[in-house]
Amino acid sequence: MAKRVKYILTVLVLVSLILGVLGCSLFLPSSPTTTPAPPNSPGQHANPGWTFPQGTTTAPLPDLPSVIDKVMPSVVAINTEMAVSSLFGQYTQSAAGSGVIIDAANGYVVTNNHVVENARSVQVELYDGKTFPATIVGTDTLTDLAVLKIDATNLPYAPWGDSSQLRLGYWVIAIGNALGEGISASEGIVSRLDVSVTVEGNTLRGLIQTTAPINPGNSGGPLVDMAGEVIGITSAKIATVGVEGMGYAISSNSAKPIIEDLIHGRHITHPWLGVSLYSVDAFVAAANGLSVNRGALIVDVIEGSPADTAGLKRADVIIHFKDKDIVTADDLIEAIQNCQIGETVEITFVREKDTKISRATIQDRPT
């Protein structure tokens, strides 16, 4: 029995030695190995000494206080009263707007037509607090411009600028009687040019869009550049849920000839064809069964208008006017506005599947 136990112990010792040797050979490699790094591993192209390249120029910030100091004395608050009728009878309603003095000696003030429209009294309050009754020199509904006159001289005035020099990103300042609380200023940039906006059925064109905040009461006030020159008359704002307020101004170059005509007492003409229009695209064409997917769709023709005389009808699509291809309704409206009163123009249009040509003589838009 003792020999058997001794034999078993000997076998166990030998097994332990063998496992120890095998364990060393399994878990301790005879020579170290290295794993190559991936071709684009982090740190492979590191450059510890790298720095950002420096810019070559530093643009100076605009001197806003100097511009505001220069222009603000020429900006006025306009307060109006108008008679309003309701189910309960007539009552007087007050409203506030803005304007800008453009002539030191004659007291001419430019504002929006909608600021003074239907007003039975107009008061102009200067920056220093003096108040003057104002007379309406003239108004133009389609461009939303008006000129007032106050009996005062030696007035501060704002020089008229050239809006054609504007570029996207230019700094501008809107100054006006915001919320009827007095003259204040807000800054922004030019965010878009040559914009069309429809307000209460009237489409204003060639507008300047700005990020400068424009609030009720700002209407009629100036939009000025960093030279302190008027490059626009603030006129409209889009404000709705989900949309940051976008302000618009009538460009100074669009307003200048209208203002001159109003002061000179000239009749302002607006070339007129006498149609209501809608832009045609693929969706409109499919929805209305049109044979073309571009152009200006005639929604209505005014009886006795140049379009009526030329034989144009509802559902016709104008695709060429005078010397211009028409892709949208705006294209046609712009082409009409560029015509002369009494000018006869050739119009190409599509009626159902037939392409036709007619001629119309442009008239002055009726009052």
Active-site residue numbers?
Answer: 114, 144, 219
Give me the residue label for tokens 């915001």.
178
| The residue to which tokens 């008027």 are assigned | 230
In contact, 253 and 232? CB cutoff 8 Å: no
Burial of residue 50 (CB within 10 Å: 0-12, 13-18, 19+) is: exposed
C-alpha to C-alpha distance for 181 and 320, rounded to whole angstroms: 50
User: If you ran DSSP here, which 8-state letter would residue 106 be given?
Assistant: T
Element at 300 (helix H, strand E): strand 296-301
DSSP annotation of 35 = P
**Residue 212 exposure: Cα atoms within 13 Å on the Cβ side:** 34
Q: Measure the CA dihedral 60/70/104/247, to 10°.
A: 70
Neighbours of 279 (CB within 10 A): 16
Q: Tell me phi and psi for residue 172, to 5 degrees.
A: -140, 160
Residue type, 208: I
Q: Return the H-helix or E-strand segment holding 283.
A: helix 282-288
Residue listed under structure tokens 């001419």: 108
